[in-house]
Amino acid sequence: MTERVVVVGADAAGMSAASQAKRLRGDDLDVVALERGSHTSYSACGIPYWIGGDVSSVNRLIARTADEHRANGIDLRMRAEAVGLDLDRREVEVRDHAGSTTYRLGFDHLVLATGARPRRPDVPGIGADGVFGVQTLDDGERVLDALDHEPRRAVVVGGGYIGIEMAEAMVNRGLAVTVVTRSAEPMATLDPDMGRQVHKAMEAMGIDVRTSVELHGIGTGADGRAQAVLTDAGEFAADLVVLGTGVSPETSLAVDAGISMGRWGGLITDLQMRVFDVPGVWAAGDCVESIDLVSGNRVHVALGTHANKQGRALGTNLGGGYATFPGVVGTAVSKVCDLEIARTGLREKDCNAVGFGYLTVIVDSTTRAGYYPGASRVTVKLVVEQGSGRLLGGQIVGREGSAKRIDVLAVALWNRMTVEEIVSLDLGYAPPFSPVWDPVLIAARKAVERMAAQ
C-alpha cells in the first residue's frame, strides 16, 4: 500500500531525507515536501560569500531547484507553511502563502526538518529596519538590497563564525565594520588563547573588534531605522546591523503539538532519526539535538553537513534501508581573510563543565616543510584527558593548509584515541604538504612528553 510522508522544511535535511526515501521506495511512497520560504536545498553557509561578492549569483548556492526535486517525483510545495500538527488524526495544517488558503494534509510519516531560527537578543530596537539576520537566502537578499543604498558603517553583533564571515563580507564591500561580542575573544568556539589569534587577524583586516561587550539595544532614527548599536561600552554608529548571535532549534510546530524537547530546545531522536516516543514522526537537521560523542551529552550544532547526513540516514530508514547518525564530535572550520580556523571536541570550559580532568599543549609549526615555498605558521592546541591520555579536543589556527588538519583529530576523537596512539599515526608526508612531523603529531608528541613528566 502506498504510504504518504509529509516533509516539513525543504532545505538540506528535509530534501536529503525526501530524495533518499523516494529513491529507495519509488511509487510506493508519496512524498510531499512543504517549504514556507521561496528557496529549497540551498547552502546557507554560502550566504556570507554571496554577500561579500565571492559568489556571483544566488543561484550558485542552490544545490537543487524545486523543479529538479519535482522531476524526481517529489510533490514539493513552495511558500507552503505547516502551521499546525494533529498527531492523533495524523494531519498537518498547511498555509499556502501564494494562494492565501489553508488546508489539511494527512500523513503516515512526518519528517520535521524545520531548521533553526536566529537568536534575537531581547533588547529594545532589535526588530528595527536595518537589523538583519543571515539565516536564509531571503535574509541574504535583504542584506544585499540594503547594500544598494550604499551604507558606510556596519556593526556585527556576535563574534562567532557567521558574525566574522559577515564582517569580512562587509569589509569586502567597502564598509567600515565593527564587531561587538560579549566573549573575551571572538570565535568563542575556541579557547580564548586561540581566539586571540583570530582577534589579531580581524584587526589586521581593519575590523574594529570590541570584546566583553554587553548589548543594550539598537538605537533608531526618526524613520524607525537602526542607526546605532547601544552597549555597555558605548554607542556604535551603524547604517546596517547584522546579527550573528547564533541560532536556536525552530521547533514551535512540534512544541505546540505536545512533543517534548531536549535541554537546548531541539527534538530528540534515536540513531535512525525517529523522534523518541512519537511513532511515525522523524526529524533531522538544525531542529534536532545530537549526541556529542566525546562527552556523551546532547548538544545542538546547526551545520549543513550534519543536516545532510541526518537527512540521508532518515531517508534511508524511511525508505526501508538501515543507516544511523551516531552523533558529532564538534568539528567546525572557517576562514577569516587568509586565516584558517578549526576546532573539534571539547574546549577547556567544556571539560570543566562535564567533569573531565585535562591538560593542554600548544605548539607552533608550519603547514609545509620549513624549506618548501609557501610554508606558513600553524598553531595547534590539544586538550587531553589526564591519566588516560585520551584526546578530548583540538584547535588549529593558521594560514592556508591549516584548517582541514582538524579532520585527523576529528577521526581520532571518533575512535577515542590517546595522544600516544596519535603520535604513531601514518599521516601523509611530503615537503609540499607537511613537515616530516605533521603539526598535529608534534602537538600529540608534546602532550605525551607532558604526561610522562607528570
Q: Are the beta carbons of 5 and 284 closer than 8 angstroms?
A: no
Q: Give the amino acid at 133.
A: G
Q: Does 335 bind its own copies (CB under 8 A)?
A: yes
Answer yes or no whether residue 452 interacts with its own copies by CB under 8 A.
Answer: yes
Nearby residues of 221 by Cβ (< 8 Å), 6 or more positions away: 227
Q: Whose Cβ is closer to its own copies: residue 100's or residue 424's?
A: 424
| Angle of CA points 346, 282, 94, to nearest 5° | 120
Residue 212 Cβ vs its own copies, minimum distance, rounded to whole Å: 26
**Number of neighbours of residue 216 by Cβ within 10 angstroms:** 17
Binding segment for its own copies (CB under 8 A), chosen from 75-83, 119-127, 276-284, 300-308, is 300-308
Site for its own copies in 160-219 (CB under 8 A): 161
Kindly state the smallest distance separating residue 257's Cβ from its own copies, in Å: 29
| Least separation in angstroms between CB 388 and its own copies | 16
40 near its own copies (CB under 8 A): no
Single out the residue of 65, 255, 414, 450 in contact with its own copies (rule: CB under 8 A): 414
Kindly indicate which of the ranges 58-66, 145-153, 186-194, 279-287 contains the residues binding its own copies, using the contact rule CB under 8 A: 58-66
Is residue 411 close enough to count as binding its own copies by CB under 8 A?
yes
Q: Which residues pair with 8 in a beta bridge?
A: 34, 112
Q: How far is the CB of 223 from its own copies (least distance, A)?
A: 36
- Binds its own copies by CB under 8 A, chosen from 111, 268, 412, 443: 412
C-alpha cell, 357? 580532568
State the catalytic residue, choosing from 45, 287, 337, 351.
Answer: 45
Stretch that binds its own copies, among 152-160, 175-183, 191-199, 308-316 (CB under 8 A): 308-316
Binding to its own copies, residues 123-162 (CB under 8 A):
161
Q: How far is the CB of 154 from its own copies (least distance, A)?
A: 21
Cα–Cα distance, 155 to 145 (Å, whole number): 17
Closest CA relative to residue 49, chosen from 374, 336, 321: 336
Of 25-33, 175-183, 256-264, 426-434, which part binds its own copies (CB under 8 A)?
426-434
Of 78-86, 167-175, 185-193, 324-332, the segment contacting its own copies by CB under 8 A is 324-332
| Residue 276 makes contact with its own copies by CB under 8 A | no
Task: Specify the residue for cell string 530546545.
Answer: 265
State yes or no: residue 429 binds its own copies (CB under 8 A): yes
8 Å CB contact between 198 and 341: yes
Measured N-to-C along each axis, helices 192-204 and 161-172 cross at an angle, to the nearest 10 degrees, of 10
The arrangement of strands across the sheet holding 153-157 comes to: 131-132, 240-243, 153-157, 176-180, 208-210
If binding means CB under 8 A, how many residues of this protein chain bind its own copies? 75
Residue 453 binding its own copies, by CB under 8 A: no
Find all residues with CB under 8 Å of 19, minimum gap 6, and list them.
69, 72, 74, 315
Q: Which of 4, 30, 55, 386 binds its own copies (CB under 8 A)?
A: 55
Minimum Å distance from CB 413 to its own copies?
8
Site for its own copies in 74-133 (CB under 8 A): none
| Least distance to its own copies, CB of residue 322, Å | 8
Q: Which of residues 344-403 bind its own copies (CB under 8 A)?
A: 344, 369-373, 401, 403
Give me the least distance between CB of 221 and its own copies, in Å please. 35
Specify the residue, 52 or 217, whose C-beta has the smaller distance to its own copies.
Answer: 52
According to CB under 8 A, which one of 6, 7, 12, 283 is a site residue for its own copies?
12
What grid cell was written down for 309?
547526513
Among 216, 261, 433, 450, binds its own copies (CB under 8 A): 433
Among 38, 43, 65, 388, binds its own copies (CB under 8 A): 43
Active site residue 45: yes
Q: Distance from CA of residue 365 to its chain's centroid?
A: 28
Please, what sign has the CA dihedral across residues 30, 35, 40, 43?
negative
Cα(280)–Cα(112) distance, integer angstroms? 11
Residues forming the active site: 45
